Chain A
Amino acid sequence: MTLHLSIMLWLPLAFGVIGLFAPPRLAGRIALAGTGLALAYAITYVVDYDSGAAGLQYVTDETWIGELGISYKLGIDGLNLLLVALTAILWFACTLWANLREVERSRLFYFHMAFAETAVLGALLAQDLALFTVFFDLMLVPFFFLTGMWGGARRVQATMKLVIYTLVGSLLMLTAAVATGVLAAEGDLPLSFAFSDLAQRPLGESSQQWIFLFFAAAFLVKMPAFPLHGWMPDGYRTMPLPALAVFSGVLSKVAAYGFLRVCLPLFPDASEQFQMLLLLIALASILYGSAMAFTTTEARLILGYSSVAQLGFITLGIFALNEQGAQGALLQAFNHGLVVAPAFFIVALLAARAGGSQDIRDMGGLGMRAPALASLFLIVAFATLAMPGSANFVGEFYILLGVFTEKIVIAIVASAGVVMAAFYTLRLFITAMHNRTGARVETREMTFREGLVLVPLVLLIIAIALYPQFGLKRSEKTVSAVTAPVTEQQNAAEQPERVDALGVAAPEIEAVPAP
């Protein structure tokens, strides 16, 4: 097995294309094989990865469009390693889930799923800003189709919202990306979009500001963060389940990853300047998401709003702008993905047992004849609410500690989100599994097929809970390198002489006049 990143990247799509020409009943199996192979590659990377090094490993670097300075550059480091693994794991789980059920127009469905995996892996692996932007925007295309064609009721409206929101985000991001490359290519420097080049060509403060805000808007929409989450309720209600599980589990994390990969290293001044704004948005997401999660009665939306809150924690960690916060955010990104996907599967199983209703008021007493399902749900629920002992808690601990050393009040207010999470998660568990049996409820144990997807994921949650060091160890070196520019920035701000030195090093550049 050659450790060539392109192979892992394009495998799912290649199998998806093959599936298009295969008999419909085989399409699922073919897609499963593709995503399975990608998973095998991802596991190999995780095992083989050298945690002692900070820089990129397994780098592929080819010139793609020479005149524009865009290169096809892929690589793995501490920032994306675990997210790549998460992507591969969840796509495999979701493809398996779909394989165990009937899917209409299966060839197209699996093609879009596979396409989406390649796009997400591309966004994670890309080490060139232009390539990143292309993959980031491509990610959404298959999801429009998955939502629009296989979605539930009111799918057109939901797709429309999704399109409008993300279209705006994407265009902002594209503009910002192009501007970054162009503005950085000052004087004699050749145009280049590679992260490594851009990091050495710091932009002037005012350009950094608006470019940062454009990127931030795109990422915050994708997460989604308060108040840009308007597309989320309709989208979550209607998306087909396998697509929803990866969407919520992985796509939101790509946005968080974007902050770490793009914003902190390339726009350290702006990150520092807008720290408070982002922290406040994160805090609002936590409180608002939690408040919504404990009043809504739709099971999918409880998970959706809880994700808004959890992504708020992740953003909080990133904008602590220190090592602890970023370490926590990365670990939490992995954990949350690993927890939210099985949670969606479980909600689907519950709805199937409650006469097809997603409303928790129609559920109740489901745990009675289903002890195994109830146990799995309980473990997932405890992990979701970040109970100490789960890796999610370690993530939150690091995040809050990171914020605590920076902005003590924000950490204290944010910790209210932890208490609220305990309430809304247990409320979901109790109203579904406990109390009296609902009128249309039929309690039955999880079948072998249902367990086939759920049990391995839950075992993985337990494993990472016993040894969260597994993730922290791998990301440590890169994270300290990534947070270094911002930390230096903060130190510089505290020492006036060094500001001058920096000012000389990075002369002011006027922003390109807006079109």
Chain B
Amino acid sequence: MTSLKLFAWLTLLFPLAGCITIALLGRRLPGRSAGYLGTGALALSFASAIGALLSLLDSDHEHRQVVAVAWDYAASAGVDAQLSLLVDPLSVFMILVVSGVSMLIHAYSISYMDSDRGYARFFAYLNFFVFSMLLLVLAGNFLVLIVGWAFVGAASYLLISYWYRRTTATGAGIKAFVINVLGDVGLVLGTFFIFKHVGTLDFLGAFESAREELEPGNADLTAGLILVLVGAFAKSAQIPLHTWLPDAMEGPTPVSALIHAATMVTAGVYLIARMHPLFELAPTAADIGAVIGCLTLLVAGTIAIAVTDLKRVIAYSTMSQIGYMIMGVSAGAYAGGLFHLMTHAFFKALLFMAAGSVIAAMAGQQNLDKMGGFRKAMPFTFGCMVIGGLALAAVPPFSGFFSKDEILLLIGDRGGWYWILYAAGYVGAFLTGVYTFRMIFRAFLGAPVPEARELQEGHLHHAEVHTNPNNGEVEDTDVGFPGADHHIAEREPSMKLAMGVLALLAIAGGFLQVPKITHVIDSFLEPTFEESALYHRELSDGLISFGLVLGAVVGLAGIAVAYLIWVRKPQIAASVRQRLSPLHRLFVNKWYFDELIDAVVTRPALWFGAWAQQTFERVFVNGLLVGGTSGIVRAGSSAVRAAQTGFLRYYAALIVLGMVVLSFYFLLNA
């Protein structure tokens, strides 16, 4: 086995080993040791990922795509499913981001989750999640990809309903899981369509045979890829399969940072990038992806301006940013999309961590209306939030600026109707500036709320009665979770460390790829996208300069508007809300997507179930069939009629008798 394959397997196995160890030891692990164990496993995994990176850079250009096979997983009847990994620049890029960011989030959780009774369970789930995500990005064929895909969904379910005493959490969990399974099914059916033509499940084999055999625009391929997109949309929370993501904020904040911001939700982006040879053969499917991404980024941006739950603001912003990435990779901006995936992982994890710190200071309260003035009480958190916010709003020279620019640049360069997407991207960028700084200004500026004043005096607020912030239900405190104690970054070194590192990355991560100056991402990923014409497109200098200036102006304008509305003249907010009340209602109600899905899917399904239960089963199955059959039997023979009132053994005897009589009848006839 080459060292590259070895490192890939190790990256995958450390989190799995961590998960099993923590799960088996469970509550026997004293104090914070489960946290250290989990974080340690991730550190080893990250180290292995770096090992994989180094050995990849060490090999020749032609040998940068390696398939590692463990054993035949389900290979029979013409299906060639092995347990195999594909190690190439794309997967190594992904494992670096996933294991690196996850390691920091584990470190943050060591303190943040302290005092929670389910501490060990939490880290077992978290390790399992990272294992699943790494399996997803390392998968070498469709089947292993689907396995990783579903494991990630399961881990997400487990972590969303981690506080399983809350009915809101279990409800959000099942919603997320079912929508994710819908995505899995899309992926499976999509795989069938593709398999039908290429005859193999192996990625490299499938891509090669598609390139050779399929005409561009093949109808089956297009249908298959649209179904694959359903999978991508479900996991990456794109319209209309996004409704689970805001509800997923029921999970503990580190979970939101890890799964619902930095890693899992970007799986759809990875998927499209991985399947790019197929998408380039089916431009219609790719265009659908781009359009949906664009719609999502606009819709989510508008909702983020209206919601008042701190974590949900960030959640909608995540949706919106993933919209950019999906739009990018669908339109061919692979390097840009993946670059944005990376920088987004940095700054969005940072934002969630900072939000977690604020929520802790508010003793679990997440409503922005009740926050304010934390700037002095929590200077470190404030600093991190501002850095993350500037990166998110794409202000130069923060990382988000360069990566978002990279996506829009290529889309603009494609011309034609892509100009609509290009323009929408800048509208979205403006919205991003507004909602991000609306959130920051409302939480940190203004008059300090009592909790902030208490903290300034050196005392961390703890609520007298613990309630579920989402429905006000009183928590079962004897169960011990969520933990009674809260932890803020200012007081916990491990939280500070994780946030500090991410803050540095959020500032500097963009310099990896500055137009005309550095091309680290581009040239690293090149072997994966070698055959792609879109990847090697030459861009015009004029568009590059125009985009850089426009991006900077739009982002700053958004921030300025937020400042004007929520700091300088708060009365504007109220009057705007009044004047545009239908629009505001639309945004606050999240464009009524929940209601739509409820009416179109959930209700009919439940109605059918109830009808089957109450009417069909009773009248037809029990009445007509059971009654009818027994009626026929009754009428048919008086012997049977007598037997029905009698004992069981008659029935047995009857069967034997029947057998004998019939056998003889036929044999005599023969």
Q: Which residues of A contact B (CB under 8 A)?
A: 68, 134, 137, 140-141, 144-145, 148-149, 159-161, 163-165, 167-168, 170-171, 174-175, 178-179, 182, 185, 191, 227-231, 233, 288, 291-292, 294-296, 323-324, 327, 365, 367-368, 371, 375, 382, 385, 387-389, 393-394, 397-398, 400-401, 404-405, 411-412, 415-416, 418-420, 422-423, 426-427, 430, 433-436, 467-469, 472-473, 476, 479-480, 512, 515
Residue of A nearest to B663 (CB): A178
Is B106 located at the chain interface by the 8 A CB criterion? no
Q: Report A-chain residues with C-beta under 8 Å of the C-beta of B655.
A: 137, 140-141, 167, 170
Is A426 in contact with B177, judged by CB distance below 8 angstroms?
Answer: yes
Segment at the interface with A among B149-157, B457-465, B539-547: B149-157
Q: Report A-chain residues with C-beta under 8 Å of the C-beta of B6.
A: none
Q: Report B-chain residues with C-beta under 8 Å of the C-beta of A411.
A: 189, 192
Q: Report B-chain residues with C-beta under 8 Å of the C-beta of A171.
A: 658-659, 662
A412 to B192, CA, bound (A): 11
A144 to B667, CA, bound (A): 29
Is B33 located at the chain interface by the 8 A CB criterion? no
A161 to B625, CA, bound (A): 11
| In the A-B complex, the 10 residue pairs with the closest CB atoms | A295-B609, A388-B150, A434-B164, A178-B666, A230-B626, A422-B181, A472-B76, A323-B77, A182-B670, A291-B609
A161-B626, A291-B612, A436-B476 known; A415 and B189 CB under 8 Å? yes
Is B188 in contact with A469, judged by CB distance below 8 angstroms?
Answer: no
Is B209 located at the chain interface by the 8 A CB criterion? no
Interface residues in B639-669 (C-beta closer than 8 Å to A):
644, 648, 651-652, 654-655, 658-659, 662-663, 665-667, 669
Is A401 in contact with B76, judged by CB distance below 8 angstroms?
Answer: no
A161 to B621, CA, bound (A): 12
How many Å from the CB of A141 to the closest CB on chain B?
5
Q: Report B-chain residues with C-beta under 8 Å of the C-beta of A168.
A: 629, 633
Segment at the interface with A among B44-52, B166-174, B549-557: B166-174
What 18 new A-B contacts, CB under 8 Å, besides A171-B662, A397-B74, A430-B173?
A164-B633, A167-B651, A168-B629, A178-B666, A182-B670, A291-B612, A294-B606, A294-B609, A327-B77, A371-B27, A387-B150, A388-B147, A397-B143, A415-B185, A418-B181, A435-B167, A436-B165, A472-B76
Residue of B nearest to A472 (CB): B76
Is A144 in contact with B652, judged by CB distance below 8 angstroms?
Answer: yes
Is B476 in contact with A389, judged by CB distance below 8 angstroms?
Answer: no
Secondary structure class of chain B's binding surface, majority of residues: helix
1/0 contact trace for B599-640 toward A, CB 8 Å? 000000110111011001100111001100110010000000
Residue of B nearest to A480 (CB): B77
Q: Which of A145, A291, A365 has the largest count of B CB atoms less than 10 A from its CB? A: A291
The number of residues on chain B lying at the interface, defined by a beta carbon within 8 Å of a beta carbon of chain A, is 74
Residue of A nearest to B634 (CB): A164
Is A292 in contact with B613, judged by CB distance below 8 angstroms?
Answer: yes
Is B79 located at the chain interface by the 8 A CB criterion? yes
Is A422 in contact with B177, judged by CB distance below 8 angstroms?
Answer: yes
Q: Report B-chain residues with C-beta under 8 Å of the C-beta of A473.
A: 72, 76
A170 to B669, CA, bound (A): 20
A287 to B79, CA, bound (A): 27
A141-B655, A388-B151 known; A515 and B665 CB under 8 Å? yes
A52 to B178, CA, bound (A): 41
Is B23 located at the chain interface by the 8 A CB criterion? yes
A294 to B652, CA, bound (A): 36
How many Å from the CB of B104 to the closest CB on chain A?
27
Is A160 in contact with B644, judged by CB distance below 8 angstroms?
Answer: yes
Is B170 in contact with A434, judged by CB distance below 8 angstroms?
Answer: yes
How many Å from the CB of B624 to the closest CB on chain A?
9
How many Å from the CB of B26 to the closest CB on chain A?
6
Q: Report A-chain residues with C-beta under 8 Å of the C-beta of B616.
A: 288
Secondary structure class of chain A's binding surface, majority of residues: helix
Q: Report A-chain residues with C-beta under 8 Å of the C-beta of B609.
A: 291-292, 294-295
Is A175 in contact with B167, judged by CB distance below 8 angstroms?
Answer: no
Residue of A nearest to B121 (CB): A371
Q: Report A-chain residues with C-beta under 8 Å of the C-beta of B651.
A: 144, 159, 163, 167
Residue of B nearest to A415 (CB): B185
How many Å from the CB of B636 to the closest CB on chain A?
10
Q: Report A-chain residues with C-beta under 8 Å of the C-beta of B573.
A: none
A160 to B627, CA, bound (A): 11
Residue of A nearest to B166 (CB): A435
A368 to B481, CA, bound (A): 11
Q: Report B-chain residues with C-beta under 8 Å of the C-beta of A385.
A: 181
Q: Report A-chain residues with C-beta under 8 Å of the C-beta of B74.
A: 394, 397-398, 468-469, 472
Residue of B nearest to A385 (CB): B181
Q: Report B-chain residues with C-beta under 8 Å of the C-beta of A327.
A: 76-77
A227-B620, A230-B626 known; A512 and B669 CB under 8 Å? yes
Is A167 in contact with B658, judged by CB distance below 8 angstroms?
Answer: yes
Is A419 in contact with B185, judged by CB distance below 8 angstroms?
Answer: yes
How many Å from the CB of B390 to the closest CB on chain A?
40
A475 to B413, CA, bound (A): 55
Residue of A nearest to B73 (CB): A469
Interface residues in B174-190 (C-beta closer than 8 Å to A):
174, 177-178, 181-182, 184-185, 188-189
A231 to B617, CA, bound (A): 11
